């Protein structure tokens, strides 16, 4: 009998605990229902108290926590709402509505990292493909808006798996390849598919699609098809972007490079211009000047050196020395350039253009400290041409030294037409390099 009694006790305790838990849960549900009624009638303080009692009785129910968070949100208690939604996903990490509310809160706080994190969690939890696509699209748009488009690749790939023929995702895929991976063939393929689908459905695609297709063709040096795509564009803002892909624009860049003795870059751009438009005469003229100077170089130097040696008049002598140094710099003969610079300086007739040549020669042998000293002097000189050449070269040196903030100041000044286009291109380059650093540091 005694043994029977002791066996019976655990059963009683178990029954009592189970009954108590059930009563507690039922009691919690009662308070939750009261909270719902108060919330629906706008009595938010009473709703909060009711939900809090429900949670105290059953703190593992994510629904109670989420509803409390919603009332906090309606009461404009943003911090309390955020903390309650975070507790909700601690209890149930698959509670999708809490993730979505957190994404919204973080977006309003401009905390885009956490916004993206919770949208990604919502994408993970849901099995509805339309919602998955919507969450990924929101992430891609945020990254583009915040100039972090280089992070969009994995999200675009996820979206393509869900909807491989979605026109907007194909468009964003093309932009990613046009500007981030530089895989213009992939950009072209995505846009051709999207445009074909839109033309079949609506008769015409959006102009932004034709613009990006033109960019892909242009980057592949398929200028004929680039022009066909660009002809579809009527929007003034988009048309203004096309100027950066014209022979006239690129010639200005090549000309600026030529003036600071970056001759390989100048030559490369000039050849691209001729591929783009084989009737653009200024490109031929500058290329001819580049190529003519390469012919019989040693003979030209000998003749110039001889002319220097026979000059009695110092003024004429320094002019010929300046031509000789200019010629040597153009073709990388820095040893002789320095020799003739020394000879020039002994004549005691300062010429700003020759001082610029000396700065360029120092830069060529990586003695940028001496180059910068000379350039700073020239930037304060009254002659506009040498002043702007010097500012432009200074900016180039600062980029090479990764001093991007100072480089931006160098290029962010009112350059004359012959340098302004090339300065804009350098500012674009700095912006890209700064973005690359941010990505590397993450």
- Asked whether residue 402 carries a pLDDT value surpassing 90, the answer given is yes
**CA–CA dist 350, 373 (Å, integer):** 16
What is the rounded average pLDDT of the residues 375-396?
Answer: 88
Tell me how long the chain is.
Answer: 442
Burial 327-355 (b: 16+ CB within 10 A, else e): bbbbbebbeebbebbebbeeeeeeebebb
pLDDT band at 300 (very low <50, low <70, confident <90, very high): low
Lowest mean pLDDT among 96-105, 153-162, 227-236, 348-357: 348-357
With tokens 């100077």, the residue in question is 293
47 by Cβ neighbours in 10 Å (0-12 / 13-18 / 19+) ranks as buried
Residues 19-43: what's their mean pLDDT? 77
What is the pLDDT at residue 18? 40
pLDDT of residue 301: 67
pLDDT digits (tens, 9 = 90+) for 105-164: 999 999 999 999 999 999 999 999 999 999 999 999 999 999 899 999 999 999 999 999
pLDDT of residue 217: 96
Residue 348 pLDDT > 80: no
Q: Of the candidates 121, 83, 79, 80, which has an alpha carbon nearest to the alpha carbon of residue 100?
A: 121
3-class state of residue 370 by DSSP: helix
**Predicted pLDDT at 17:** 42
State residue 1's pLDDT score.
Answer: 46
Please list, in sequence order, all residues whose beta carbon lies within 8 angstroms of the beta carbon of residue 325, skipping any fewer than 6 positions away.
Answer: 337, 340, 341, 344, 354, 357
**Whether 255 contacts 292, CB under 8 Å:** no
Per-residue pLDDT averaged across 16-40, rounded? 71
Tokens of 441: 């540091």
For the stretch 409-437, pLDDT in tens is: 999 988 988 899 999 999 999 988 888 88
Contact status, residue 361 vs residue 329, Cβ threshold 8 Å: yes
**3-class state of residue 350 by DSSP:** coil
Q: What percent of the chain has pLDDT over 70?
A: 91
Please check the confidence at residue 372 and state whether its pLDDT lies above 70: yes
For position 380, what pLDDT does the model report? 85
Domains and CATH numbers, the chain: 1-92 (1.25.40.10), 246-292 (no CATH), 297-441 (1.25.40.10)
Are the C-beta atoms of residues 152 and 143 closer than 8 Å to each other? Answer: yes
pLDDT band, residue 12 (cuts 50/70/90): very low
- Mean predicted lDDT score pLDDT of the chain: 88
The pLDDT tens digits for 238-289 are 998 898 899 999 999 999 999 998 988 999 999 999 999 888 999 988 887 8
pLDDT band at 292 (very low <50, low <70, confident <90, very high): low
pLDDT at 67 over 70: yes
Give Rg (Cα) of the chain: 35
- Give the pLDDT of residue 151: 94
- Quote the percentage of the chain above a pLDDT of 90: 64
Closest CA to 249 of 37, 428, 442: 428
pLDDT digits (tens, 9 = 90+) for 87-109: 999 999 999 999 999 999 999 99
Per-residue pLDDT at 205 exceeds 50: yes
């Amino acid at each position: 009998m005694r043994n029977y009694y002791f066996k019976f006790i655990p059963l009683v305790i178990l029954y009592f605990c189970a009954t108590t838990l059930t009563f507690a849960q039922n009691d919690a549900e009662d308070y939750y229902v009261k909270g719902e009624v108060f919330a629906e009638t706008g009595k938010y303080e009473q709703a909060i108290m009711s939900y809090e009692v429900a949670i105290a009785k059953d703190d593992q129910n994510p629904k109670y926590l989420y509803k409390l968070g919603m009332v906090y949100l309606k009461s404009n208690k943003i911090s309390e709402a955020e903390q309650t939604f975070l507790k909700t996903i601690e209890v149930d990490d698959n509670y999708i509505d809490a993730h979505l509310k957190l994404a919204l809160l973080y977006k309003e706080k401009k905390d885009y990292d956490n916004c993206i994190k919770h949208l990604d969690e919502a994408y993970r939890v849901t099995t509805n493909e339309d919602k998955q696509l919507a969450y990924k699209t929101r992430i891609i748009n945020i990254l583009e808006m915040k100039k972090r488009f280089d992070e969009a690749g994995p999200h675009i790939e996820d979206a393509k798996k869900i909807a491989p023929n979605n026109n907007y995702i194909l468009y964003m895929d093309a932009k990613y390849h046009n500007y981030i991976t530089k895989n213009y063939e992939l950009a072209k393929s995505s846009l051709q598919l999207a445009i074909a689908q839109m033309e079949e459905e609506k008769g015409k695609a959006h102009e932004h699609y034709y613009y990006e297709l033109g960019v892909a063709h242009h980057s592949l040096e398929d200028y004929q098809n680039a022009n066909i795509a660009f002809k579809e564009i009527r929007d003034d803002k988009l048309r203004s972007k096309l100027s950066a892909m014209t022979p006239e624009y690129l010639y200005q860049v090549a000309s600026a490079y030529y003036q600071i003795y970056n001759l390989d870059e100048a030559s490369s751009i000039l050849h691209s211009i001729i591929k783009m438009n084989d009737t653009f005469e200024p490109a031929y003229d500058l290329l001819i000047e580049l190529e003519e100077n390469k012919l019989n170089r040693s003979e030209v130097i000998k003749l110039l050196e001889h002319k220097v040696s026979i000059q009695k008049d110092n003024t004429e002598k320094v002019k010929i020395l300046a031509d000789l140094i200019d010629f040597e710099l153009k073709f990388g003969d820095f040893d002789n350039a320095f020799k003739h610079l020394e000879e020039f300086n002994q004549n005691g007739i300062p010429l700003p253009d020759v001082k610029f040549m000396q700065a360029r020669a120092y830069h060529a042998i990586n003695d940028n400290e001496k180059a910068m000293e000379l350039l700073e002097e020239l930037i304060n000189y009254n002659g506009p041409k040498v002043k702007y050449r010097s500012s432009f070269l200074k900016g180039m040196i600062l980029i090479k030294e990764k001093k991007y903030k100072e480089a931006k100041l160098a290029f962010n000044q009112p350059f004359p037409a012959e340098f302004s286009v090339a300065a804009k291109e350098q500012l674009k380059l700095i912006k890209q390099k700064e973005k690359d650093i941010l990505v590397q540091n993450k």
